Amino acid sequence: MAPPKYKGAISNGFQFSLNMGALSSNLIYYGTAKVDNDSGWRISLFMATIPALIFTLGATDVLGTR
């Protein structure tokens, strides 16, 4: 549970992260929708793995998980 003085900042950070994720996924879709061959879905799927890997590697360094 977050301390009361940090609850608003954590809530705002969570909302900001959700909106940035939605924006980046829409930009990736927009960029790959006009690919001529049938590899647009592969490109967008690969690009989605990049932030997932960053979060996975970052989660291994969180002190509360050990």
15-53 per-position pLDDT tens digit: 998 898 889 888 888 888 888 788 888 888 888 888 889
Residue 1 DSSP SS3: coil
Q: Would you say residue 64 has pLDDT above 80?
A: no
pLDDT at 65: 53
Span 6-11, average pLDDT: 88
What pLDDT score does 15 carry? 93
Determine whether 16 is exposed, middle or buried from the number of CB atoms within 10 Å of its CB (0-12, 13-18, 19+): exposed
Q: What is the pLDDT of residue 44?
A: 85
Asked if 24 and 35 count as a contact pair (C-beta separation under 8 A), the reply is no
Q: Which residues have a Cβ under 8 Å from the Cβ of 25 and sit 6 or more positions away?
A: 48
User: What is the model's pLDDT at position 12?
Assistant: 92
